[in-house]
Structure 1
Amino acid sequence: MILPGSPHVAYRGDTLFIEDCPLAGLAAEFGTPLFVYSQTAMREAAAGWRSALTGRDHLICYAMKANSSLAVLQTFIEAGCGLDIVSGGELERALAAGADPERIVFSGVGKSRTEMRQALEAGVLCFNVESEAELDVLSAVATRLRRTARISLRVNPDVDAGTHPYISTGLKANKFGVAHQRAVAVYRHATTLPGIEVAGIDCHIGSQITEVGPYLDALDRVLDLVEAVEAEGIRLHHLDLGGGLGITYTDETPPAADALVRALLERIDERGHGHRRILFEPGRALVGNAGVLVSEVLYLKPGDAKSFCIVDAAMNDLMRPAMYEAWMGIVPCRRRDAAPSIYDVVGPICESGDWLGRDRALAVEAGDLLAVLSAGAYCMSMASNYNTRGRAAEVMVRGDSAWLIREREKPSELFRGERLLPKV
């Protein structure tokens, strides 16, 4: 039985496998909570984007904020991807994973001077600049270093991506990007600044987008700007169309990556811009359905109004439900031949917001294992140490082989850098 999401997470009989590895066996070996990723799923997702861009000058930059574990980055680098970063820390991770700096784009609305210096010294491909103030600071930093910063302006097209407000980034009420009506003037200003080289234009309208329409609307507005900017004599070499393509958590039907890319390329060609280099920055679409979070059932707590299935994973491991009220599939790692009961699946953290799923029909007992599906993106990368809980271990599988790619954190590691006050 194949579940929503990746075909590489499926039941064989009553046992849940990821590729050829039973999840219960991985939990026995590595403990819980445990993130497990299918490398094959990641490679196939990247191949879908690459095949759609065959014959085009392009660069697919994996948006590493979705999942920045080194082995995940290594997988995408080896698959031919560049990386999209949003912090100096992510730059260090990218380089540690073996990324070529000339295949890294630096996004983000609040780059510090230190981060700019770090990226300039590393030699990143491009800065996606999000404000006039940032542009002026980048010019000053680059000039001081005697370097040239290649830039794209991230423009805000005021297009509704039809997604959750917290992950919508393309409306004029959002903090991201340069307003559409200011873009030409900001490009003019960029050409006057020392240490700045205009390279392209960038647009990203949100995350977990499940329709092609918003992308086409944004693209049309971006191409209008390209034509207006080039009418000023300013050359734009590349179009960075961002990411944000959604995945299937339950019954969503997002377009396949190749269908989305084909639709965008057709529009680009229709408008006479097929000669430009194309950049994409997918994150969730590459890694989201490749991962699961395995957790042990600690207690079942029946009640009059609600019954609770208390597990050892918590909101510090999986913030998406608490932050976005996100729905994520939760299934047993071994199915029981018993009638299900309705539970809220909750964790041990002392917050009412510590829940992984509400009103789930499950046939479980204490000691059973549950798998939270589609947990490859914005799960481990958003994990915290709240309640002094160590972050979970991570495992990568390919076929019937499994590798520990991150050790489980120990409490002593969490306060290693802290100091007691001197006794007086």
Structure 2
Amino acid sequence: MKNKMKSPLEYKKNTLHFDGQSLNLIAQKWQTPFYLYSKKTIEFYYNDFTLKAQEQGLDDILICYAIKANNNKDVLKLLRKLGSGADVVSGGELKLALKAGIHPSKIVFSGVGKTDEEIEMALKCHKNGIFSFNVESLEELADINRIAKKLNKVARVAFRLNPQVHAKTHRYIATGNKTHKFGILAEDILAGLKSKKYWSHSKLVGLSIHIGSQLTEMKATKEAIKELSDLALKINRPLEFLDLGGGLGIDYTEEERKELTSTAEYMKAIHEALDAFYYKKTDERPKIVFEPGRILVGKMGILISKVIRTKVSGGNHFTIIDAGMNDLIRPALYEAHHDIYPVMRKTKEISTDIVGPICESADCFGSAMKLPPMKNGDFVVIDNAGAYGHTMSSTYNERQRVKEVLL
């Protein structure tokens, strides 16, 4: 069994602590529910990601943090200080990246639905535009070229290859198969390169893949790198970079703890795949771009909630908390597991369902969980909520979006 990934949580004398500080005290400072983030944990995972790449000889890299994972302004500023760029998927995310001080030369723009307004914004944000548009269709490339021509600019573009691989992850967050809306098939990319109509004001600077999120094993990733390498060799022209996407997962469950690919194993697999399928067949050594999201921020965040009351009905025990599926939708949307801990640990435990106040049966954070009996006012922590927590939250049932606190 592999070790659990680094977490800011630990019990001291039966009181849960976060970065060494008592959560019983922290939870009383702000109205619950609220997200709490660990600066130390972000720094650890960013530096670890960089170090593990360097240990595999991947020195010329650009990390473009996937803002969709967590778009908190303080988190973005911290990542920028650490050296990160940004992977954005909307004009709003582009504005956030620029506001956080991330330079346009470190920003890639992904996503199948870039509007004319968003493309224009990206081209105009700097004299050279952004680092790259990761182009998802030839139709999109035509639009980018048209808008760049209107602005008298040259757009830097990378084809996002659809490598037609099956990633082992939830079907809603897999993106690398032919049936998915993402990316372009290799034969269409090769055809597009031959057509002059796309290239009057566009320049091919790279190739990109991204096969999904919460990836826990490397088979599909290696297959995708092979397809990307084959395409790069067929194109047979100098490329500034190969963008290998992101998606490396974290351990939400005990099963994932046993099977999870570590950052070191991830970088080793990437190096081996690049060496076998690309480096041994060419003298070209383009920059390697990564788009990590969850792996940098997933473990750094928790959602702190307060017990409203408990309920017993026909032998079923419910612990009703003030956090709802509008605050953290992953369990409802993906049937995702999040560990839940009492802030004050006790010896006695019962089996209880942890549910929220939203008028939906899907508003459940865990069934038959072993937790101590709790009462009104007790605090609980929903762990591993730093990624796709607050960014996917809503005001459903006219509830306010919760506060975020960076410790």
Q: Same fold (TM over 0.5)?
A: yes
TM-score of the aligned structures, taking structure 1 as reference length:
0.89
In the TM superposition, what is the alpha-carbon distance from 1:256 to its structure 2 partner?
Answer: 1.8
- Aligned-partner residue type, residue 216 of structure 1: K
1:359–1:180 distance in 2 versus 1, CA, 3 Å: farther
- Partner amino acid for 2:321? V
Q: What is aligned with 1:349?
A: 358
Q: CA RMSD in A?
A: 1.5
Instruction: Tell me if the contact between 1:61 and 1:105 (Cα under 8 Å) persists in the aligned partners.
Output: yes
* Alpha-carbon separation, structure 2, partners of 1:8 and 1:348: 28
Instruction: Tell me, in whole angstroms, the C-alpha distance in 1 between the residues paired with 2:187 and 2:174.
Output: 19
Q: Is the 8 A contact 2:106 2:130 kept in 1?
A: yes
**Corresponding residue for 1:95?**
98
Residue 192 of structure 1, CA deviation: 4.6
- Could you tell me which residue of structure 1 aligns to residue 273 of structure 2? 267
**Which residue of structure 1 aligns with residue 377 of structure 2?**
367
Residue 243, structure 1, aligned to residue 260, structure 2: no
Letter in 2 for 1:109: V
Match of 1:32 in 2: 32
**Aligned position for 2:114:** 111
The CA distance in 2 between the partners of 1:361 and 1:303, in whole Å, is 18
Measure, in 2, the Cα distance between the counterparts of 1:5 and 1:371. Answer: 18
132, 154, 157: which is aligned to 1:151?
157
Q: Is 1:161–1:205's contact at 8 Å kept on the other side of the alignment?
A: yes
Find the residue that maps to 1:278 and give its secondary structure.
strand
TM superposition shift of 1:353: 1.3
SS at match of 2:274: helix
Deviation track 1:169-216 (CA, whole Å, cap 9, x = no partner) reads: 001111101023322112333785221010000000001010121111
Greater mean deviation of Cα atoms: 124-133 or 6-15: 6-15
Write out aligned runs for 1:15-414 (5 A). Answer: 15-54=15-54, 56-122=59-125, 123-189=129-195, 192-230=198-236, 234-251=237-254, 252=256, 253-270=259-276, 271-272=278-279, 275-304=285-314, 306-338=316-348, 340-363=349-372, 364-397=374-407
Determine the structure 2 residue equivalent to 1:11.
11
CA contact (8 A) 1:10 1:17 kept: yes
> 3-state SS of the aligned residue for 1:114?
helix
Mapped to 2, the partners of 1:199 and 1:153 lie a distance apart of 9
> Which sections of structure 1, spanning at least 5 residues, go unmatched?
398-424
In 2, Cα distance between the equivalents of 1:212 and 1:277? 21
Describe the shift of the 1:191–1:51 C-alpha distance in structure 2 as closer, same or farther (beyond 3 A). farther
| Greater Cα shift, 366-375 or 55-64 | 55-64
1:107-140 CA-partner distances (Å, limit 9, x unpaired): 1110000000001111211000001110000111
- SS of the counterpart of 2:157? strand
Cα gap change, 1:189/1:236 in structure 2, threshold over 3 Å: closer, same or farther? farther
Structure 2 CA distance for aligned equivalents of residues 219 and 239 of structure 1: 10
CA shift at 1:57, angstroms? 1.4
- 1:96, distance to aligned residue in structure 2 (A): 1.2
Deviations 1:334-365 (A, max 9, x none): 11232x22111111111111111122111122
CA distance in 1, matches of 2:8, 2:150: 51
Whether the 8 Å contact between 1:245 and 1:254 is mirrored in structure 2 is no
2:166 maps to amino acid: D
CA distance in 2, matches of 1:383, 1:267: 37
Of 283-292 and 185-194, deviating more is: 185-194
Offset of residue 83 of structure 1:
0.6
**How far, CA to CA, are the matches of 1:365 and 1:180 in structure 2?**
58
Aligned-residue identity in percent = 40
Give the TM-score, by structure 2 length: 0.93
Letter of the aligned partner of 2:325 in structure 1?
Answer: M
Alignment match, 1:421: none
Which shifted more, 342-351 or 79-88? 342-351
Structure 2 distance, partners of 1:79, 1:212, is 27
Report how many residues are paired. Answer: 391
1:5: Cα distance to partner? 4.4
